[in-house]
């Protein structure tokens, strides 16, 4: 039975007991515990159910590699699923729940999957692909809903997250990831050489495995004492920053690193502290000192709670004072695992046997075990683990004679299949790996490829165990060399020094990939390779038999190494079994790609502060407050928020829009047009530049005149439009669409800088410098007169259509344009943005006697559609030419060149069956066509494919015409005037509409004469 | 995330400060050009595995366009240079050849 020992536990503070809950039960731990160690101290061995088979599972590991103990932690908005118990620091009041079981952890219906699986191959590799094939219709209605219900780990939280998250950007010379002995040593070397060092450690303490494995002496000190002293000495250096609880999450191009800091995760709700902080670091050099992960061994029923990694067992004893068992069996293929036998023995547990899969075990550590009376059995393995909810007995057998089974009673199996360097961060940036036969591991091979900086030189190196240097002496000398190499890459050097290391000599490990179950114990056993995804050795062999030769395919077919775990404990064992099944060496099978993040990071940390009001920047015009205070019903247009309409009491949107349209057409309306893009183009070559930019001629524009212009790209497709004003001989003002100002400005600059850089032209985007107001309707002129508008030259009455005049209202200078997007007599006034609100209110006051009302974007849309004016983004979609829209009149025939001109000669642009802009009048005038509705050549029964000949681009109810109107792009549309088209809708109904001219109202333009 | 040095303002830019502009040194074929030449200009890009010349804009900085010579495999940057040239300048070619002796342009 696991329990807290009376003393020991270097990381816990026994003077500070804290309470926490697991599945509703109140338990006690200490400050310094992880959730895992505290659960173990309370004899909680069963912590969850497995993914596919719902088998009982417990802790395997003590660190980031834990595949089983994924718990829901927290409550309400702070609930987070799939938290590794081993990486969750215990805090007072922590609430944890186990996952993936129903109705309870102890009794689970899903476990029948496993019971059935023992008889027929349910849930074996490719089960879903093979089983849920027929009938086809059943997939959508039966199989998928069922599988979706059963699939997935944990539940998503439903309440908003109350915590704060933030991003932090920083730079350093050398980033050292990992605060074990190698990381400390490498950081020390780089720092001594004078580099700015950032040293991070994912746990809350320095020293890594040195805290547990203190039998190594460094410079005469036990490893843990050395690490403590080294950390203290680094902390005293001004050029070293040290942070714990930060994980290296991902490595990217040119020394860009994503780090994940758990700031207040262990103190939820702490005032002023973000829960997580995402670091974005640009480092000139990086040392990856992330250590190594111990591998499980693959034997029958190796997933029973109580089967653990050997190193984790002694971690719990040494770090947390928790003895995981009363009696144990250790099974290993290396000397290192004997440290666990010694540790268990000294903690008062009975070690029933150390089963060593090697033929001999004669190293110093096995010798020490024997001297303590621990039975050492070379050439032995585990035939099967038995027990209902946890380890109860173990069947062991000589590997040479699997039938000679013996029974051992124990409650813990500590296993070790050797160690795998944590090369993830090295591999993220493209680092290559090499298979090391002797140590049975993939280790970095920088000669074949390592992450590089912009200058092409290596900027990332692994150090210590992460570099395959497992033995303490090798680890430290490697760390010195790598720390020095990082410094040297920066042109720095530290005085030579090398620590003295004394550690027990270890005999070589020998790979042991699979232990067969033997005798009558062989039936129906599962040898788990990937615990998190429930992938067994049999699954991998089945995949190999079915022809999955590539490891990448096998991974996806079996799910080996997928999900949150990314194969930390399973990758190498899986590769070895696949290689064995294919009769090939391991390097021939290769390894899968490591992808960031190393461990899952919270979605909150990715969002950072960008949530709620800060999610997106919103642009507001100077008159925004007025709109908001006067019924403005806003809609987003680009980054802007514009009033869609102004609703009065009791009015819905449709009624408000109709009222605004009728008022503008009948009296006078006011529109906030500030969001229109405004770009100044100035310089002696401005006329010829704009001739190249617009499809029509701009050099011929008279000073003070306005012209509607079209911009195409080189494909000949229309992408923006607007009124161009010639302010002076060498100066134009370009109006663009609301959403297009930045795009158009970028377009101008691109051509100026990269193609026509000989032209003397400046451009400036002045959209936000000017407030702009459109005033439209028969009373617009009278309103402007009432407002006291005076032109600098001439009179308002004489200002012709498409003319510009400088003017003033009292002492406010304004720019006055007589332009119209409604077909009414209309003007636009521009003034400095800071005066926008004053001008708006003044015009409203002046128009009061004339019946003025503001109108929103929808009334603007309705009125322009009534007049057949196109709207970029409605009538255009990036594949539409001016000619398609009947705008050939705005495409110059005279100019030798402009952007898009050549494209108008392309076969696809000149073909006669292109879609063309037309108007549509529904047979039933009360019916409004849905936006985007498709016209078909022939209506067929539902479900039958129909040939479409075009689609609706704009559609409205016209208050002034008292009927619906629409615009559409229809194949050969202009030839179809008067033709009735069918628009079939979802549900089988068909709307019929007659093709018409797209100008529905005031065709002769009498209203703006 | 790449870093490129803007030759106009001298800043070492992170990729998020920049806007990509595709392949550099493409000759514009306008009115009067053959269908083949126009199609080459409009649609055909080299997409090489190795040395590549690209257009970038220091969009969230000085706003200027520039050129970069870069390896699309290793992401090594051989150099950046102004936009107002129709071919990579000699010092860029020399920098590429120093690192990629087999490169033939």
For the stretch A790-813, pLDDT in tens is: 999 999 999 999 999 999 999 999
Q: What is the three-class DSSP state of A487?
A: helix
**Is pLDDT above 70 for A115?**
no
pLDDT at A307: 98
**Is pLDDT above 60 for A619?**
yes
pLDDT at A153: 72
Rounded to an integer, the average pLDDT of A277-288 is 98
For the stretch B53-83, pLDDT in tens is: 999 999 999 999 999 999 999 999 999 999 9
**Is pLDDT above 90 for A50?**
no
Distance CA A180, CA A200 (A): 10
**Is pLDDT above 80 for A650?**
yes
pLDDT at A145: 63
Closest CB to A749 among B2, B28, B63:
B63
pLDDT at A818: 98
Rounded to an integer, the average pLDDT of A764-784 is 98
Whether the Cβ atoms of residue A739 and residue A857 lie closer than 8 Å to each other: no
Instruction: State what percent of residues in chain A have pLDDT above 90.
Output: 85
pLDDT at A146: 60
pLDDT at A134: 63
Tokens of A649: 């009491």
- Interface mutation target, options B30, B50, B72, B101, chain A, most CBs of A under 10 Å: B30
Closest CB to B42 among A715, A746, A757:
A715
pLDDT at A444: 96
Closest CB to B65 among A454, A753, A902:
A753
**Is pLDDT above 80 for A523?**
no
Rounded to an integer, the average pLDDT of A457-479 is 97
**Contact state of A901 with B30 under an 8 Å Cβ cutoff:** yes
Mean pLDDT score of chain A, rounded to an integer? Answer: 93
For the stretch A965-986, pLDDT in tens is: 999 999 999 999 999 999 999 8
Per CB-CB distance under 8 Å, the chain B contacts of A430 are: 74
Please state the pTM of the whole predicted model.
Answer: 0.91
Q: Which of these, A883, A947, A926, A727, lies nearest to A815 by C-alpha position?
A: A727
pLDDT at A122: 54
For the stretch A408-448, pLDDT in tens is: 999 999 999 999 999 999 999 999 999 999 999 999 999 99
Rounded to an integer, the average pLDDT of A377-384 is 96
Q: HEC string of A572-636?
A: HHHHHHHHHHHCCCHHHHCCCCCCCCCCCCCHHHHHCCCCHHHCCCCECCCCHHHHHHCCEEEEE
pLDDT band per the 50, 70, 90 thresholds, residue A998: very high
**Is pLDDT above 80 for A564?**
no
Rounded to an integer, the average pLDDT of A824-853 is 98
In Å, how far are A626, A645, A673 from A860, measured between CA atoms? 19, 10, 10
pLDDT at A1009: 82
- Angle at the Cα of A531 from the Cα atoms of A528 and A532, rounded to 5 degrees: 150
pLDDT band per the 50, 70, 90 thresholds, residue A123: low
- Interface mutation target, options B25, B36, B74, chain A, most CBs of A under 10 Å: B74
Beta bridge partners of A643: A634
Instruction: State what percent of residues in chain A have pLDDT above 70.
Output: 95
Q: What is the three-class DSSP state of A87?
A: helix
pLDDT at A517: 87
For the stretch A128-170, pLDDT in tens is: 666 666 666 666 666 666 665 555 677 888 899 999 999 999 9
For the stretch A93-108, pLDDT in tens is: 999 999 876 667 776 6
Tell me the nearest-neighbour CA distance from B21 into chain A, angstroms: 9
pLDDT at A403: 87
Please tell me if residue B98 touches chain A, with a CB cutoff of 8 Å.
Answer: no
Rounded to an integer, the average pLDDT of B38-48 is 95
**Contact state of B74 with A897 under an 8 Å Cβ cutoff:** no
pLDDT band per the 50, 70, 90 thresholds, residue A118: low
Long-range pairs, A538-542, Cβ under 8 A, ≥24: A538/A124, A539/A124, A539/A125, A540/A125, A540/A574, A540/A577, A540/A578, A540/A581, A541/A577, A541/A581, A542/A124, A542/A125, A542/A126
**Contact state of A455 with B77 under an 8 Å Cβ cutoff:** yes
pLDDT at A137: 66
Please tell me if residue B30 touches chain A, with a CB cutoff of 8 Å.
Answer: yes
Rounded to an integer, the average pLDDT of A31-46 is 96
**Is pLDDT above 90 for B93?**
yes
A597 preceded by a cis bond (ω within 30 of 0):
yes
Rounded to an integer, the average pLDDT of A511-526 is 83
pLDDT at A987: 86
Tokens of A844: 């409203």
pLDDT band per the 50, 70, 90 thresholds, residue A549: confident
pLDDT at B55: 98
Lowest mean per-residue pLDDT among A48-62, A236-250, B19-33: A48-62
pLDDT at A136: 63
pLDDT band per the 50, 70, 90 thresholds, residue A937: very high
Beta bridge partners of A323: A3
Closest CB to B31 among A282, A452, A902:
A902
Q: HEC string of A953-1000?
A: EEEEEECCCCEEEEEEEEECHHHHCCCEEEEECCCCCEEEEEEECCCC
**Is pLDDT above 80 for A190?**
yes
The residue in chain B having the minimum alpha-carbon distance to the alpha carbon of residue A257 is: B1
ipTM of the complex: 0.97
Per CB-CB distance under 8 Å, the chain B contacts of A750 are: 21, 57, 65
pLDDT at A556: 86
pLDDT at A815: 98
- Angle at the Cα of A422 from the Cα atoms of A416 and A424, rounded to 5 degrees: 140
Whether the Cβ atoms of residue A909 and residue A947 lie closer than 8 Å to each other: no
Rounded to an integer, the average pLDDT of A877-894 is 97
Rounded to an integer, the average pLDDT of A920-928 is 97
Rounded to an integer, the average pLDDT of A271-278 is 92
Please tell me if residue A903 touches chain B, with a CB cutoff of 8 Å.
Answer: yes
For the stretch A387-403, pLDDT in tens is: 989 999 999 999 999 88
**Contact state of B76 with A252 under an 8 Å Cβ cutoff:** no
**Is pLDDT above 80 for A565?**
no
Question: What is the secondary structure of A523-544 as a DSSP string?
Answer: TT---EEETTTTEEHHHHHHHH
For the stretch A888-906, pLDDT in tens is: 999 999 999 999 999 999 9
Per CB-CB distance under 8 Å, the chain B contacts of A901 are: 30-31
């Amino acid at each position: 039975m696991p329990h807290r020992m009376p003393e020991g536990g270097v990381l816990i503070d026994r003077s500070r007991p804290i309470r926490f809950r697991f599945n509703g039960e109140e338990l006690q731990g200490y400050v310094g515990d992880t959730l895992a160690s505290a659960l173990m101290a309370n004899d909680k061995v069963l912590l969850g159910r497995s993914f596919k088979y719902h088998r009982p599972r417990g802790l395997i590991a003590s660190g980031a590699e834990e595949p089983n103990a994924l718990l829901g932690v927290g409550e309400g908005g702070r609930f987070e699923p799939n938290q590794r118990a081993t990486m969750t620091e215990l805090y007072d009041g922590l609430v944890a729940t186990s996952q993936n079981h129903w109705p309870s952890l102890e009794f689970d219906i899903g476990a029948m999957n496993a019971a059935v699986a023992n008889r027929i191959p349910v849930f074996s590799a490719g089960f879903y692909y093979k089983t849920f094939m027929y009938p086809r219709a059943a997939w959508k209605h039966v199989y998928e809903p069922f599988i979706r219900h059963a699939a997935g780990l944990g539940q998503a939280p439903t309440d908003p997250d109350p915590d704060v998250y933030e991003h932090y950007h920083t730079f350093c010379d050398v980033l050292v990831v990992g605060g074990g002995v190698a990381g400390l040593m490498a950081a020390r070397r780089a720092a001594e050489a004078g580099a700015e060092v950032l040293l991070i450690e994912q746990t809350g303490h320095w020293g890594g495995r040195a805290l547990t494995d203190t039998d190594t002496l460094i410079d005469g000190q036990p490893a843990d004492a050395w690490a403590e002293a080294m950390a203290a000495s680094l902390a005293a250096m001004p050029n070293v920053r040290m942070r714990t609880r930060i994980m290296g999450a991902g490595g990217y191009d040119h020394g860009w690193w994503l780090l994940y800091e758990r700031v207040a995760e262990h103190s939820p709700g702490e005032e002023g502290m973000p829960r997580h902080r995402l670091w974005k670091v640009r480092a000139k050099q990086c040392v990856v000192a992330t250590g190594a992960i111990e591998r499980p061994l693959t034997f029958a029923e190796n997933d029973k709670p109580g089967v653990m990694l050997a190193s984790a067992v002694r971690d719990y004893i040494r770090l947390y004072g928790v003895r995981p068992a009363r009696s144990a069996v250790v099974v290993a293929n290396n000397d290192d695992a004997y440290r666990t036998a010694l540790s268990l023995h000294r903690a008062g547990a009975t070690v029933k046997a150390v089963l060593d899969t090697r033929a001999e075990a004669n190293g110093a550590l096995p010798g020490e075990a024997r001297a303590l009376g621990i039975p050492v059995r070379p050439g032995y393995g585990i035939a099967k683990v038995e027990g209902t909810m946890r380890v109860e007995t173990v069947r062991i057998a000589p590997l040479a004679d699997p039938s000679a089974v013996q029974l051992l009673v124990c409650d813990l199996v500590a296993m070790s299949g050797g160690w795998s360097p944590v090369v993830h961060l090295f591999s993220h940036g493209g680092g290559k790996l090499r298979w090391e036969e002797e140590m049975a591991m993939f280790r970095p091979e920088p000669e074949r490829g390592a992450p590089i900086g912009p200058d092409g030189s290596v900027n990332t190196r692994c150090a210590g165990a992460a570099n395959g240097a497992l033995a303490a002496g090798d680890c430290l000398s490697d760390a010195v060399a790598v720390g020095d190499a990082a410094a040297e890459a920066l042109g720095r050097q530290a005085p030579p020094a090398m620590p003295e290391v004394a550690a027990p000599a270890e005999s070589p490990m020998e790979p042991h990939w699979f232990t067969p179950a033997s005798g009558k114990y062989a039936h129906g056993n599962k040898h788990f390779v990937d615990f998190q995804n429930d992938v067994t050795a049999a699954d991998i062999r089945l995949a190999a038999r079915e022809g999955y030769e590539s490891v990448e395919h096998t991974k996806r077919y079996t799910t080996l190494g997928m999900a949150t775990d990314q194969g930390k404990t399973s990758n190498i064992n899986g590769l070895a079994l696949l290689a064995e099944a294919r009769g090939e060496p391991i390097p021939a099978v290769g390894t899968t790609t490591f992808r960031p993040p190393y461990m899952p990071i919270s979605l909150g940390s990715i969002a950072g502060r960008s949530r709620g009001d800060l999610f997106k920047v919103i642009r507001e015009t100077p008159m925004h407050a007025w709109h908001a205070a006067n019924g403005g019903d806003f809609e987003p247009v680009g980054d802007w928020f514009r009033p869609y309409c102004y609703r009065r009491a009791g009015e819905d949107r449709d009624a408000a829009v109709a009222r605004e349209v009728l008022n503008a057409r009948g009296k006078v309306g006011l529109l906030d047009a500030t969001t229109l893009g405004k770009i100044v183009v100035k310089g002696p070559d401005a006329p010829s530049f704009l001739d190249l930019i617009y499809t029509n001629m701009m050099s011929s524009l008279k000073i003070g005149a306005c012209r509607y212009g079209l911009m195409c790209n080189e494909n000949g497709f229309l992408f923006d439009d607007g009124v161009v004003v010639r302010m002076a001989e060498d100066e134009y003002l370009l109006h663009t669409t609301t959403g297009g100002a930045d795009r158009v400005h970028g377009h101008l600059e691109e051509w100026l800088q990269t193609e026509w850089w000989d032209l003397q032209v400046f451009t400036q985007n002045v959209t936000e410098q000017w407030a702009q107001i459109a005033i439209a309707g028969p009373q617009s002129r009278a309103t402007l007169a009432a407002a006291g508008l005076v032109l600098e030259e001439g009179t308002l009455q004489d200002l012709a259509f498409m003319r510009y005049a400088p003017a003033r209202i009292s002492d406010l200078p304004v720019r006055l344009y007589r332009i119209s997007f409604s077909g009414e007599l209309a003007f636009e006034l521009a003034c400095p943005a800071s005066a926008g609100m004053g001008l708006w209110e003044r015009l409203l006051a002046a128009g009061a006697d004339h019946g003025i009302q503001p109108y929103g974007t929808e009334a603007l849309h309705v009125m322009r559609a009534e007049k057949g004016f196109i709207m970029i983004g409605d009538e255009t979609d990036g594949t539409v030419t001016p000619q398609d829209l009947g705008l050939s009149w705005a495409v110059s025939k005279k100019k030798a060149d402009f952007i898009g001109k050549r494209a108008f000669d392309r076969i696809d642009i000149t073909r006669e069956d292109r879609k063309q802009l037309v108007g549509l009048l529904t047979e039933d005038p009360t019916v409004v066509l849905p936006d985007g509705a498709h016209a078909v050549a022939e209506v067929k029964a539902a479900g039958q494919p129909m040939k479409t000949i075009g689609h609706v681009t704009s559609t409205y109810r016209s208050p002034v015409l008292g009927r619906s109107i629409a615009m559409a792009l229809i194949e050969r549309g202009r030839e179809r005037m008067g033709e009735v088209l069918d628009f079939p809708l979802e549900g089988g109904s068909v709307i019929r509409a007659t093709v018409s001219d797209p100008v529905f109202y005031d065709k002769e333009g009498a209203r703006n004469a | 995330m790449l870093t490129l040095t803007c030759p106009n303002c001298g800043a070492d830019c992170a990729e998020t400060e920049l806007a990509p502009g595709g392949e550099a040194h493409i000759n514009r074929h306008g009115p009067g050009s053959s269908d083949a030449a126009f199609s080459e200009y409009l649609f055909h890009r080299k997409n090489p595995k190795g040395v590549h010349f690209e257009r970038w804009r220091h969009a969230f900085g000085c706003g200027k366009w520039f050129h970069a010579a870069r390896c699309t495999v290793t992401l090594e940057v051989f150099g950046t240079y102004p936009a107002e040239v129709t071919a990579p300048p000699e010092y860029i070619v020399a920098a590429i050849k120093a690192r990629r002796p087999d490169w033939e342009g």
